[in-house]
Structure formats: C-alpha cells, structure tokens
Structure 1
Amino acid sequence: MNLRSSGILMHLTSLPGLFGIGDMGPQAYRFADFLAQTHQRYWQILPLTPIDPDHNGSPYHSPSAFAGNPLLISPERLVQDGLLDAADLAAVPELPADRVDFSAVNAFKEKLLERAYDRFKARGRDAEYERFCRRHTGWLDDFVLFDTLKSYYGNVSWDQWPVKIRDRDAKALLAVQSELAEHLNLRRFVQYIFYSQWADLRRYCGQKQVRIIGDMPIYLPYESADVWRHPQFFKLGKNKRPRRVSGVPPDYFSDTGQLWGHPVYNWDGLQKKDYAWWIQRLEHQLGLFDVLRIDHFRGLVAYWEVSAAAKTAVNGKWMPVPVDDFFGKIAKHFAYLPIIAEDLGTITADVREVMCRYRLPGMRVLLFAFGEDFPDGSFLPHNHIRHCFVYTGTHDNNTVRGWFENEADKKAKKRWRSYIGRNVSAANISWEMIRLAMMSVADTVIIPMQDLLGLGADARMNDPSTTKGNWHWRLENDAITKPLTRRLRNMTETYGRS
C-alpha cells in the first residue's frame, strides 16, 4: 500500500444491470475494465455479507460475518454455467433502473436461485461444491442453519425460539437439521455460487492489476448466526438478550450520537479463547480482498457502550479493550496486515499509537477539511502524510456537490475559495476536489463514483442520521463515457498515480 495510486469507491449494488440491482455479472467486469483503462489500482466496495431488506438494505446490518449476499449473484452467469436457461431471465419484473428496490429484487432472485438449485441437484455429485462445503464448514453450517431456522420460526427473534434450539442443544439441533435438510442444502448451494462468482470476478480484477478494498463492519446485529453461535463473546443477559449495545457519542452526523444497537463484545470471553473468532473472521475477510477497511476501527481500542434500554447514544461510556494482547495475537497470526483503519470521529492518542505500532494507514476526508480548525486541520492536503488514504468523501458523506450546495455554510465556502484560490461553481466543485486529492502527498486516493460524475445530494449513498432512503443509488447505464474516461486517466497520469 506504499505505491502512489488511486481508485474508485462504488459498491456492487450500485452497478447498472437488468435485474434491479448491481451484481457480479457483465457490468462488474466492464467496470473493472474502466478502472484499468483509467489506471486506477483500487476498487473499493462495501461489505459483501447478506443484507436484511427490512433494514433498508444496509450492507452494515448482516446476519453473518462470513456469508455472501445472494442478491449479488449474477443471473447471467448462472445461464453461462448452465444452471438457468435464457428463458428463465425473460420474466424479470418491472424494476427501477436508477435505484434498488431490495424487497422486490429479493423476491425475484430467490425464485431464480431455487430454480438453479433444482438443476444443480439433477446433475448429481459435484466435487467442487463438496470441497467448498468442507473448506468453509467453520461458518457455513451455522449460517445456513440459522437462516433456515429464522424462516422456519416465522422470522421471530432467535431468543424466542424453543429453548433447546435457542441454547443449541446438540440432540435438538440434529433433529431439526434432519427435518430441514433440503432447505439447508439450498442455502449451501447459494453460498457456493456466490463464492464461485466472487472468485471469478476478483481473479479478473487481478489480471487487470486492480486490487479490491473490502469493508468489514466492526459489529454484528443481534439477529445474526454469529451471536447465536457464540453468545459468550457478546454482552448478553441470562435470557440471551443484549445488556449493552453499540453506538458513538454525539458527533458530526448527530447531536444525540448514533445508537447502532448491536450487542457489544465481551472481551473477557474473547480473550479466554485467544480471540479465535476474530482471527477466523480476519482470515476469512483477508482471503476475499486485497486490502480490508475496518469500519469504526477505534472500537477495537476502546468502544462506546450504551444500555440496551437507551433511546439515544448520549448517555454511554467508553470501555477499554485489551488492545495490546489482542493486536499482539493478531500480529503473530498474520505476517502482513493490509488493513485500513477507519479513524474518523473521536480519535484519542491510544488509537493513534496502535495504528502507528502496526503501520495501519488511516483516512483523510476532504469534506472535513474546511471546518473551524482551518488551516491547521489534518484533513487539509498540506497536512497530509504519505501513509494514509485520502477520500473526497465516503459512503457516509454527502457527495461533494451535495455538500457544497446543501451543507457548507458561508464560512466553509469562504475557506474553500481561499484554499483553492478562486471561485468554483457547484457544477465544477467535484473535479476541483478530486484534483486536490490527486495532488496530495498521500500514497493512495479513493474517489466515490458519485463525485467522479459530479452528482448532487440525491446520489448520496448513506446518511447515518437516518435509516430511511439509504443504499439505493445506482449508476446509469451510459454514465461512463469516453470523455470521462480520458479525463480521469489524464488526471491520474498528471499526478503520478498511474
């Protein structure tokens, strides 16, 4: 990560395509071609784990730390592999092209995958599939069982399941596994297809010299296979309900903080097992990506803990993590840690010390550069360091144009004009911000696709202050033009990032 380079941030769901959501099909390969043509060395995406349509499709709210998102499976690739016929794709419902309707896409793709599974079964024994199941048995069996039971028990919370199933009584689990064997096998097949398609896409990106930056949420929701399987690693009560939950104190995004509501880790329980679950998780993620961004990295040093009964995150407290022991074990297990630490928000000296000790680069976001700490703030380009990742904005920010038009006050705009040395219109501000990023001394620059296109606030991916209207943005089919390709390639070459 110490070579001068740049890349684009865009999740797979935002790709164009025929099936209501971006996926690992032809458009993903075309986007990889675009990155290679413009000399981009990175494609940064959001988490690939399954989503819950009832939680607005957030990739940060997943029932598994290991499983793949079935909605990202490409129907066109299933046709190529002989698991579907072209006629199966003819019955696509009318789905919006400019945004994702997660519930509608989920209903459509579920039927396609069931059809593909029936054809897969008819083929008979598949050695590659069996190898996949054996290789991933450490998480796969628990996930498919959890996902099946969730449906079987009418989607009620897992603490409301029969007590023996809730508490994972061995005999009770064997009995239910036998009864639901076909449902379990369908879900294993879906994971096999997901991982096969992902491996093909990642291999193609590698051939194009494009490295993939993945993203890992620090926490998991209560309704996840991992919390059900490992309750001792989370702060749960005797009834298996969370006692303490996650969040952050009041910040840039909210005066009352952010109440995420995930159960926080029981670090004493994790320490007793030498952090085996965390090591397994990191090993899995680093096997999927070339570089891994850990979201809310500071929570691995100290975390904000809130009562499970709280309505906001205001009345929480910082709790310590056995950070030296934890990272010492991690460092012994991994010879190399290609990790980006998301170090935005309230960052204290102990977090900086851990990042420095393990050579973990942090993030500099240009949208934060024109606040009251101007001109001394660390987000300003003249204060950047080489060993960091510079962003115009992230998936949690407004677009650059949206920030300029709707969020930046008169003082911020005055600071911007003073820094750039001239007036810039809203239509041109995105590329001026991109230029500032490219000029930086920082080794790596990542540009959200929306900023590359100069889009406004309606193209924002996520607003952390609300749970509504997020994660739906999609790229228009003809958005990537030859002039755009030339412009990005020329700027990349001009600032020595090719």
Structure 2
Amino acid sequence: MGRCSGILLHISSLPSRFGIGDFGPEAYNFIDFLNRTGQKIWQILPLNPTTPGTGNSPYSSYSAFAGNPLFIDPLSLVETGVIPAGDLGQIPAFPRERANYDLAWKYKKEVLDKAFFRNMEHIESDPGFILFCQNNQFWLDDFAVFSALKTRFNGAPWYAWPENARFKNQDQIRFINNNFEELVLKKKYWQYLFFSQWARLKTYANNASIIIFGDLPIYVSLDSCDIWAHPDLFMLDQANLPTQVAGAPPDYFSKTGQLWGNPLYDWEACAEQDYHWWRKRIEQNLVMFDLLRFDHFRGFAAYWSIDAKEKTAINGQWKTGPGAEFLSRIMDYFSPAQFVAEDLGHITSDVLELRDSFNLPGMKILQFAFGPDMPANPYIPHNHVHNCVVYPGTHDNNTVKGWFMNELDDPALARLQEYLGKDITLENISREMIRAAMASPARFCVIPIQDVLDLGPESRMNRPSTADGNWEWRMLPDLMNQDIEEYLQRFTYIYGRANNSQGESG
C-alpha cells in the first residue's frame, strides 16, 4: 500500500442505540464516510473482552483471543434471523455522549441469553458454528471452560478459586464440560456471534478498499484465561502467582515509575515451545485485522522487570527481551508488511535497531515535536522517514485542541507558529495539525476522529495512569457535516493520500 491516510476511532466510540458503540449500522456508516473522504485505514483499539475491575480498558482483558460480546449488534441479530424483533424488549434510554459499559452489558446480556436459548437445540449442528469451533479450538475450548468457571465462582479471579479449579487439568475440564455443558456452549456461541458480525463488517470495509488497523497489547492480565491455561509461559511461582511483573522505570513524569502488574513472560519457555502461543495469538489477530500494531514494542528489545512484592517500580531492572530471535520466528509465518511498531516512550538504540532490522514502521506524534530541540526532533515532520505512521496524537494523548489549551506552553507555541508559518489559534489548531500530518513524508497518516471533529479535552479517550472515566467517549452522530467531509477529502487529495477511487473533488 502506498501513501495513504485514515482515522482512529474505537468501536466503543461509535454512535449506537444500545449504550456503547457496536458492529451495527453506524459502523457501516463510518466506513462509508471513510470511503467518501478518500481514507484507506480505519484504526481501532483491541476488541478483547473488558471488565469494570480494570476500568473497562481494552488493554486489560481476561482473554488475548476472545472478542468482546458488548460489541455485538442486537439489530443485526434480528436482521439475520437469530432472534425476532420482540426479543429486543424495551431499549433503555442510554446516554449518547458516554459509553455506559455496565448498563449496556445488562441490556445486551439479556438479548444474548435470549439468542442462545432460542437457538440452543440446533447450535451444535450449525455448519458455521462447527467450523468456527474447529478453526478456533486452540483458544476457544479453554476460554469457554474458564468463563464457565468464572461464572460458577461469581466472577472471582481464578487465583481465588478452590485449588481443584485454580490449576487447569483434564479432570476439571471434563467435569465442567459434563456439568456445565449449557454454560460452556453459550460462551462459545456468543463468540461465534461476535466473530460472525465482525467478519461481515471487515468484509464491507475491505470491499471499500479500506483496511482495518488493529492493536496487540504486549502483556496479558493476571486474571486471564491465558495465564490460567498457559502458566508455563509466564514468570510464576508454584501457586501460579507472578514472581516478576511489568512496568516502566522512573522518569520525568513519575518519580516512582509505573507499576503495571502484568505477569512477565518466561521468554526461554516461550522459545522452547517455538513461540507457539504467540504465533497462534498473532494468527488470530491477523484474521481480524489487516494491519497490526505491536503495543509496547520496546518490550521485545528490553523490558522493565519488577519483583512482584514491590509496591512501586523504582527497584525494577532492565532485562533483555526475546528480540530478533522472536521476531525472526514470527516473520517465518507472517510478513513484516502486516505490522507497525509502537516505539514511543523510553526508546534506546537497541529498540530502533530491532524495529529497523525487520523494516517495521514506527510512530511519529506531532504533539511531541515542538520542544527546544525542534530542528532535530524525531517527531517534527521534516525528520520523518517514509516508513512510519504519523499522528497528531493517539488515544493516550489529549485531543489537539485540548493540548493547545492545557499543555502547550508559550515557547512551544512560538515554535509551532514559526514552523507552520502562521498564527495558530484555538479555532484553527486542529486543522493545521491535521494538515501538517497529512503533508508529512510518512507513508501512513492516521488522525483521531476527535481532531477531525475539532473537539476539546472533554473528548479525550484515555488518560494514562488514571483509573476512572477512560474509554467512555462517544461520537455524536450529528457532529459529522458536509464541511468536515469536504476539508478532510480536500486535504487527503492535496497531500497525495487519497483512496484510488477519489479524484480531485471537493
């Protein structure tokens, strides 16, 4: 794919009648918007299940393979004959501006339960369901049993379960499959519905010459099916609890560093199994996405290892990651053209060498570009290489307007204005930063939808290191208008990024 552009918008942020964005009509409408404005990329965040206990973060899931049933569209279940329209019941008056995960799940769970019980008798003879289970057996069987156990123990983390359930074994799996057969089948069926709807949506995008750009979190949560089913791949003790956990060292922003708490991989054990779990995980993601971002790519070069007993990240130490050996094995099965390296944060030469040795595009963030070192700054457009992805900001940054209002000091504003050659105000900052990103030599340009819509700090998606109120922002359907479409289409055309079907219009 040549020079192109696209939009960052997570599924949860789409408009919808059901309390959270989903795979419904507005997702198809958004693809149509991308097509009309000449975009080639739709970037989203991970689609794995979320939980209130981790702030509904898509980066803290209880499965690295499963899909989030919250994204299943009830209307599509009616259209495809899975349920009659009456099963939708009384749709609550959900708020439009924020995703309400709890209320949305309360409603959707009722609908999904009805879908399961209406179809239960013939699910296991459905050729589509049989094929889905065969193709996803590596993770689906474990996930369904794990989910059934979680339900049986009232949602408690697996490490609080009775000892005979805490350690995966064949006797226990037989017991669950025999005694909770209906519950195990339901968990599989919900996944079947999720992946069926996602496949239809992705096909619609691909038929419009739009690729889906997904995200692969490097770590998994302690309370996850992945740790429970594959404890030998992680740094755990005899009770399967972590001995070493992930985080980031102290820096300018945090004197004590960041203690993420995710169990670290036992990379030697992963290598002994020829990285099989990793290969299956990436294979699963590349069925779902056309392009995949390695989140926290620097962790493959070296990672910050913290003793699990520590209260902060101060006393951690750098450990060598699996590096070129791991990526070489991965690239025996996949193409480097399918990946992007998230190379932000504390980046050292070994990270850049690892990225470049596999010709992976890195990321350039314009909000980082206007410091005192501006002429030599790697994020300033004139220093961008072709093989990278440029963003005004990502889901972890403020919106451009919020950045201008709250984070850009006077010297940086002066540098920004000198660089762009014009007075920059609250009224024009979003479009001028989009223009600068579009004009970059970078092969890929991705714009958060909040910046396309010129929204302020109240529309920020995530504030790293804060626990509450993240991942909730939603796009109101009436924010899109003809002016926005025309300027986006025009910028995309002027800077040589237009979808091949777009001519000089607008």
TM-score for the superposition, normalised by structure 2:
0.96
Aligned partner letter, 2:43? Q
Residue 169 of structure 1, CA deviation: 2.5
Letter in 2 for 1:344: L
Helix, strand or coil for the counterpart of 2:58?
coil
Which residue pairs with 1:312 in the alignment?
A: 312
| 1:41-92 CA-partner distances (Å, limit 9, x unpaired) | 0000000111112222110010111100000000110010112222333411
Show the counterpart of 2:55.
56
1:271 offset after TM fit, Å?
A: 1.1
- Is 2:247 aligned against 1:262? no
Letter in 1 for 2:394: T
CA distance in 2, matches of 1:447, 1:378: 19
Which whole-Å CA distance do the structure 2 matches of 1:108 and 1:169 have between them? 35
Give me the whole-angstrom Cα distance separating, in 2, the residues matched to 1:407 and 1:58: 24
Query: Secondary structure of the equivalent of 2:305?
Result: strand
* Secondary structure class of the residue paired with 1:364: strand
Contact 1:42 1:212 in 2 (8 A): yes
Deviation readout 1:358-397 (Å, 9 max, x if unpaired): 1100000000001232221000011111010000000000
Q: In the alignment, what sits opposite 1:406?
A: 406
Q: Aligned partners of 2:423, 2:256: CA distance in 1, in Å?
A: 35
Q: Match of 2:16?
A: 17
Q: Counterpart of 2:465? A: 465
Is the Cα contact below 8 Å between 1:256 and 1:313 reproduced in 2?
Answer: yes
Which stretch shifts more, 468-477 or 83-92? 83-92
Q: Deviations over 1:385-442 (max 9, x none)?
A: 1010000000000000101101112222121122112221112101100000011111
Superimposed CA distance per residue, residues 251-295 of structure 1 (whole angstroms, 9 cap, x where no aligned partner): 465443322111010111111111111111111111111100111
For the residues of structure 2 that align with 1:238 and 1:80, how far apart are their CA atoms? 50
Letter in 2 for 1:25: G
Any conservation in 2 of the 1:251–1:345 contact (CA below 8 Å)? no
1:284-332 superposed Cα distances (whole Å, 9 cap, x missing partner): 1111111001110111111111122223223211111232321221122
* Matched ranges for 1:211-250 at <5 A: 211-250=211-250
2:109 paired residue number: 110
Q: Is residue 2:381 matched to residue 1:387?
A: no
* Structure 1 alignment gaps of length 5 or more: none
Q: What letter corresponds to residue 169 of structure 1 in structure 2?
A: N
Which amino acid is the alignment partner of residue 285 of structure 2? Q
Structure 2 Cα separation of the partners of residues 324 and 481 of structure 1: 47
- Inter-partner Cα distance in structure 2 for 1:106 and 1:138: 27
Q: How does 1:83-162 map to 2 (within 5 A)?
A: 83-123=82-122, 125-162=125-162
Distance in 2 between residues matched to 1:358 and 1:7, nearest whole Å:
24
Q: How does 1:169-184 map to 2 (within 5 A)?
A: 169-184=169-184
* AA of the residue aligned to 1:279: R
Equivalent residues of 1:343, 1:362 under 8 A apart: yes
Q: Paired residues, what number?
A: 497
Aligned equivalents of 1:13, 1:351: Cα separation in 2: 32
- Classify 1:260/1:116 alpha carbon distance in 2 versus 1 (closer, same or farther; 3 Å): same
CA distance in 2, matches of 1:12, 1:357: 33
Q: Name the SS for the 1:379 alignment partner.
A: coil
Q: Which secondary structure state, in structure 1, belongs to the residue aligned with residue 423 of structure 2?
A: coil
Query: Within 1, Cα distance between the matches of 2:480 and 2:192?
Result: 32
Shift, 1:347, TM fit: 1.1
CA-to-aligned-CA distance 1:200-228 (integer Å, 9 cap, x gap): 00000011111010011000000110110
Q: Quick one: distance in 2 between partners of 1:251 and 1:101?
A: 34
Matched letter for residue 289 of structure 1: F
Contact kept, 8 Å, 1:253 with 1:464, in 2: the verdict is no
Gaps of 5+ in 2: 499-506
Tell me, in whole angstroms, the C-alpha distance in 1 between the residues paired with 2:371 and 2:145.
49
For 2:331 and 2:456, the matched residues in 1 are separated by 42
Instruction: Give the stretch that moved more between structures: 418-427 or 292-301.
Output: 418-427
Q: What is the Cα deviation at residue 14 of structure 1? A: 0.2
RMSD: 1.3
Residue 308 (structure 2) pairs with residue 323 (structure 1): no
Equivalent in the alignment of 1:344: 344
Q: Distance in 1 between matches of 2:492 and 2:173?
A: 56
Give me the identity figure in percent.
46
CA distance, structure 2, for counterparts of residue 252 and residue 493 of structure 1: 40
User: 2:340–2:360: 8 Å Cα contact kept in structure 1?
Assistant: yes
In the other structure, the counterpart of 2:504 is: none
Find the aligned partners of 2:121 and 2:163 in 1 and give their Cα distance: 37
Cα distance in 2 for residues equivalent to 1:372 and 1:239: 51
Residue number in structure 1 paired with 2:497: 497
1:72 corresponds to: 71
Tell me what 2:361 maps to: 361
**Hey, what's the Cα distance between the residues in 1 that align with 2:465 and 2:400?**
18
Amino acid at match of 1:95: F
Pick closer, same or farther for the CA change 1:394–1:255 going to 2, 3 Å: farther
**1:212-254: CA deviation from partner (whole Å, max 9, x where unpaired):** 1001100000011011011011111111111111111234654
Separation (CA, whole Å) in 2 of partners of 1:439 and 1:31:
24
| Contact kept in structure 1, 2:336 and 2:359, CA below 8 Å | no
